[in-house]
Structure 1
Amino acid sequence: MSRSRSLVPTLRVGIALVALAAAVPAAHAGVTYRLDRPSAAPGETVLIEAVFFNDTPTGAAWSAPRRIVVQWRGATGQPIRTTARAVGAATEFNVPVNNFARMSWQAVVPTQARGLQAVSIEGQSALMALDATGRESGTPATMAANTPVVDARTGEPLPPAEVTRLGASPDTGPAPEQTAMTQPAAIPTAFNSFTSSLSAYQPVYFAVGTRGGTTARFQLSAKYRLFTPEDAATPKFYENLYLGYTQTSLWDLQGDSKPFIDTTFNPSAFWLNENLWTSANQNWRFGSAAGIEHKSNGKAGDDSRSLNDFYLQPSFNYRFDGGSTLSFAPKIMSYVAVARENSDYSDYNGHVNWRVRWAQDNGPVVSAMYRQGDQKRRTTQVDLAYPLKQIGLNANGYVYLQYFNGYGETLLGYDERNRSQFRIGLSLVP
């Protein structure tokens, strides 16, 4: 069978992963605001709570003001401006990937405020609502709505049967406090549940080199979280379990049938917590991963290669004040069930992948990997990714450069020494 036929299943997997990646909402970092309660009398103190969530591929810095200016607008629209003071001492936060920081400010409801208030923070687009009706008199806007459902244009009551079909009472509606206490969480669709659990794993790239013939090396990768944490700040042990899949191919672009030279299929199951410990100033962070993975090139006979390994990968991260993060994450591996055809795999690839990575927020990413087998069999890979938007292109992704020298550019050729190879291309996940 021609090796070019292996292109079909690999491209199918690649297209599927790219489609899934496209379905996931774009990563972002932002702040959401809310009031700690729906109603308070004039003169009472309320909390304005803020949550900064980092959904970007790199760590992010959040500098929250110690004091903010709050605007209150009642039925007349005439604003009242007051200040609110931060609760606690910390206002500078370094937020790791897929983590959040929380803080709040104390605000006194103005004594002049009456009725339903539109509350905003100067400089922010968020708009909140608070019922400031005094409890000694008046009808609070947060009381139950003891009135029928009417047509918005005519004011005439709707037929009770029609309202009942909507899941509401024809005569009365619950107060906001009651709704917050009794309303069940929205049930996500199966597709939304799947995509919300899918995230980046290893780098995703496509790069071309010309030494020894024109070839392309590309990699697709994603991980899937098996359980959604009830509390993202303190997930339970089993809520950190993942399934991962990575596929790396070397493609001959110069041959007559453009065959794949080799493809490594790499499924895995692992435990991952990127935030086991964080320093008080959030500059230092320690995480860890541990799991089992399988590697195979999907071939039979003399070209068959496969192995399994258990691994432990601690990660040490330092967040610089300039908005970049330096990471050191050695991957320590113990091989099991190694195929006869590659029984000496560890002699060439060793037992530790030493990894260092530096990433600037919304900027370049540089990573390096070094490993050493027996008898000075060394392998080095250096990757540089630079955002396309930083070079004037309104496009997602990165310009990607890769340098490789040593053993194991393919699983088939794990014991073959590869000369220095430079490749250039595009990266979606650096």
Structure 2
Amino acid sequence: MSQTTLSRRRTSAPPTGKSLALLCLSLVLAWPLSGQAAVSLLQPPRVIDGTQPLTLTLLISADVGTRRYQVPETLEVTASGDLQAPLKLVLQRVGAGPSIVYLRKGENRTIQYTATLPPALRGQIRLDASGIDAAPVLVTLNRQPATPPPAQQAQPATVAAAPQAEAAQAATKGDNAPVPLVPVAAAGQPAPSPSDLRDSARLSFHDPMYFIAGPHDGANAKFQLSFKYRIFEGENPASKRLIDNLYFAYTQFSLWDLSEQSKPFRDTNYRPSVYYYLSDTGVHNRTISRLSLATGLEHESNGRSGAESRSINTVFFKPTFYFGDQNDWHWRVAPKLYAYLEKSDNPDIAHYRGYMDLGIAYGRPDSWELSATVRKGTWKWYGSVDAQLTYPLARLLPGTAGYLMAGYFIGYGESLLDYNQKMPWQFRIGYALSR
């Protein structure tokens, strides 16, 4: 994990009268020496025994000057496996060491933290310390080691170092309080968001991928495939330039009529798009824990001709707001606003679909999530609600990936073919690869 610096500025009340001399003397005696400190996470062995507790080691060092630091008793880490929902681990400090460490220039101290690994984690695991602007730690879990594992001597991680901020000097009435050892992002750089399967690689998930089926109004199913690809990988991963954040996405959605003898597909919709996307814009405050942004061009059609042909071209703008701790229960609100550039095959589609898809979700990465997409047309009460409830399958069957899924739809236009037809309500269950 990369290095980061941590500091807190303390200010004293303005001295007056006879207290000035005493306060100055206190400042001279108590003021910490100017300096910088580094906090890094040591890399465990590449392959570790998954049946044993995970142990991670913090390395604290004073590179320039003398400082005091307050050490946290716990370390929060997000652990995610391949195509598995992230899990939050809270590592407890090993031993009863001092809560405050005093380091002179050139000295360092290691502090260990440990936690039991949940059985749902398998294979290669990515570990992200929450709120730290640092590279993730990758380890491979071996839950059935052939031979006793060697002693786990931590080695310094080979990671890119984050810029160090100058340690703040402060004193309050002579109290040389320790600086809390709370990892924060380097100055000017937002802390990274927790691991998100939708943004985990250059080729990644876009909209949910699933297959669900139900019996209402005749056996029927629907499924969706969706992915996105980052067209150009720039030199700076944090770049916000257009060319460095240009994506191509493709989504294919089908309704499958299983009640007919030949089991035909009722409709298939194809939705390619090219757009600018920032997974994390850097906007954080007490309310918003993360803000994503997507904007671009999108085409949607059903590939038919004649009276059954449906096609629209839109330009869209989609911010995604996250409220609350993304490693815990939190809200996600994503209004997708769009304008029609071309809709000659279905000129009145806005009457039934409107100009916005409102996505709302509440859940936890390693537990339940309830989400819904709501549309409201410009006429009457035309519109639709498409809701999903998902739960990580690995919580029930360790070693698996994806989610159990239940879906409910009611309203107009579950597919483009029936955009102006009110469809019977549908309840379906099945499997989702992403949500």
What TM-score range do you get, normalising by the shorter chain? 0.5 to 0.7
User: Which residue matches 2:134?
Assistant: 102
8 Å CA contact retained: 1:379, 1:405: yes
In structure 2, distance between residues paired with 1:200 and 1:31: 31
The number of equivalent residue pairs is 288
8 Å CA contact retained: 1:307, 1:335: yes
Local SS of the residue matching 1:256: coil
Per the TM alignment, residue 396 of structure 1 is displaced from its structure 2 partner at its CA by: 1.3
Per the TM alignment, residue 387 of structure 1 is displaced from its structure 2 partner at its CA by: 1.2
Per the TM alignment, residue 281 of structure 1 is displaced from its structure 2 partner at its CA by: 7.4
1:376-387 map, 5 Å: 376-387=381-392
1:233 aligns to 2:234 (yes or no)? no
Aligned partner of 2:294 among 289, 298, 322: 289
User: Which residue matches 2:313?
Assistant: 308
8 Å CA contact retained: 2:303, 2:310: yes
8 Å CA contact retained: 2:211, 2:430: yes
> Relative to 1, partners in 2 of residues 1:388 and 1:64: Cα closer, same or farther, differing over 3 Å?
closer
1:324 aligns to 2:329 (yes or no)? yes
Per the TM alignment, residue 280 of structure 1 is displaced from its structure 2 partner at its CA by: 6.2
User: Which residue matches 1:367?
Assistant: 371
Aligned partner of 1:268 among 247, 265, 273: 273
Give the unaligned 5+ runs of structure 1.
Answer: 1-29, 41-49, 71-80, 87-91, 104-122, 131-194
User: Which residue matches 2:4?
Assistant: none
> Relative to 1, partners in 2 of residues 1:400 and 1:351: Cα closer, same or farther, differing over 3 Å?
same
> Relative to 1, partners in 2 of residues 1:358 and 1:59: Cα closer, same or farther, differing over 3 Å?
farther
Letter matched to residue 302 of structure 2: N
Aligned partner of 2:348 among 341, 344, 351: 344
Q: Percent identity?
A: 32
In structure 2, distance between residues paired with 1:321 and 1:337: 38
In structure 2, distance between residues paired with 1:411 and 1:281: 40
1:162-173 map, 5 Å: none
8 Å CA contact retained: 1:359, 1:366: yes
8 Å CA contact retained: 2:359, 2:373: yes
Q: Deviations over 1:339-394 (max 9, x none)?
A: 2x311111111111111112312222221111111111121111011111222454
1:14-53 map, 5 Å: none
Letter matched to residue 345 of structure 1: I
TM-score (norm 2): 0.57
1:255 aligns to 2:281 (yes or no)? no
> Relative to 1, partners in 2 of residues 1:280 and 1:413: Cα closer, same or farther, differing over 3 Å?
closer
1:214 aligns to 2:222 (yes or no)? no
8 Å CA contact retained: 1:309, 1:333: yes
User: Which residue matches 2:20?
Assistant: none
TM-score (norm 1): 0.58
Per the TM alignment, residue 53 of structure 1 is displaced from its structure 2 partner at its CA by: 8.5
1:83 aligns to 2:109 (yes or no)? yes
> Relative to 1, partners in 2 of residues 1:227 and 1:260: Cα closer, same or farther, differing over 3 Å?
same
8 Å CA contact retained: 2:85, 2:402: no
**Greater RCO between the two (CA within 8 Å, min separation 6)?**
2
Local SS of the residue matching 1:347: helix
Local SS of the residue matching 2:210: strand
Letter matched to residue 268 of structure 2: T
User: Which residue matches 1:127?
Assistant: 155
Q: Deviations over 1:60-100 (max 9, x none)?
A: 76878999999xxxxxxxxxx972489xxxxx9656xxxx7
User: Which residue matches 2:393?
Assistant: 388
Letter matched to residue 272 of structure 1: Y
8 Å CA contact retained: 1:68, 1:84: no
8 Å CA contact retained: 2:79, 2:89: no
Highest CA radius of gyration, 1 or 2? 1
Is 294-303 or 358-367 further displaced after alignment?
Answer: 358-367
8 Å CA contact retained: 1:317, 1:326: yes
8 Å CA contact retained: 2:87, 2:366: no
Whichever structure has more helix as a proportion of its residues is 1
In structure 1, distance between residues paired with 2:351 and 2:400: 43
In structure 1, distance between residues paired with 2:56 and 2:303: 47
In structure 1, distance between residues paired with 2:337 and 2:206: 18
In structure 2, distance between residues paired with 1:53 and 1:405: 36
In structure 2, distance between residues paired with 1:84 and 1:280: 32
Local SS of the residue matching 1:127: coil
In structure 1, distance between residues paired with 2:111 and 2:288: 25
Give the unaligned 5+ runs of structure 2.
Answer: 1-53, 64-74, 98-106, 113-127, 136-150, 159-199
Letter matched to residue 338 of structure 1: K
